[in-house]
Amino acid sequence: MPSTTVAVGSAVGLHARPATIIAEAVAELGADVTLAVEGEDPVDAGSALLIMTLGAEKGTEVTVSSDDDAALAKVVELVAADLDAE
């Protein structure tokens, strides 16, 4: 499965608001996307709760994986963005 590693851009990490925005985007895209931090099993990016279990803070490297190129690009963009600033 293709993947890209990206640093979390949200000032307070992947907490409730950013996790919800990412999960909603994945649901709209209808693709299988996973997120993982080093040393941990990947989680379903379509679940805000599972995203929050990563404990990813600002600057944490997260690996985004998907067979859908558009979904991969969109989720990478969201993880890198400061979703709290919007």
Spatial distance between the Cα atoms of 83 and 86, rounded to a whole number of angstroms: 6
The question of whether 5 is a catalytic residue gets the answer no
Q: Which residue of the set 6, 9, 14, 15 is catalytic?
A: 15
Q: Name the residues annotated as catalytic.
A: 15
